[in-house]
Chains A and B, each alone.
Chain A
Amino acid sequence: MTGRVVAALLAAILLAAAPASAADIGRVKRATGDAAVLRAGKKLPAKPGLVIQNADVLMTGPGGRIAVTFIDNSRFSAGPDSQVSLDTFTFNSTTHDGAFVSRVEKGSLAIISGQIAKKTPDAMKIRTPTSILGVRGTRFVVEVAP
Chain B
Amino acid sequence: MNAAGRLTALSLLLLTAACAGGDKVLLLPPEPGAAPGSVAVLSDDGKTAAVIDTPNTEARLGGASVEARAVDPGAVQDRYGSLIDTLPAPPAVFVLYFREGTVTLTPESRPALDALLAEVGKRPGAEVQVTGHTDRVGHQAANDALSVARATEVASMLVAEGLDPALLVTAGRGEREPLVPTADGVREPRNRRVAITVR
Contact = CB atoms under 8 A, between A and B. Distances in A.
Interface string B44-63: 10101001100000000110
A138 B38 contact: yes
A146 B80 contact: no
A68 interface: yes
A113 B80 contact: no
Interface residues of B, number: 68
Interface string A8-34: 111110110001010000011110100
Given A48-B125, A73-B197, A130 B61 contact: yes
Contact of A141 (B80, B131, B137, B174): B80
Interface of A: 1, 3-5, 7-12, 14-15, 19, 21, 27-30, 32, 47-50, 65, 67-69, 71, 73, 75-77, 79, 93-95, 104, 108-110, 112-113, 122, 125, 128-146
B124 interface: yes
Nearest to A65: B86
A140 B39 contact: yes
B27 A140 contact: yes
A112 B31 contact: yes
Given A110-B86, A145-B22, A136 B39 contact: yes
A77 B28 CA distance: 14
A109 B87 CA distance: 10
Interface of B: 20-31, 34-44, 46, 48, 51-52, 61-62, 80, 82-84, 86-91, 101-103, 123-127, 129, 131, 137-138, 142, 144-150, 152, 169, 171-174, 176, 197, 199
Contacts of A12: 145
A77 B91 contact: no
A142 B24 contact: yes
B86 A139 contact: no
Contacts of B38: 136-138
Contacts of A140: 25-28, 39, 52
A110 B91 CA distance: 17
Contact of A11 (B30, B89, B146, B199): B146
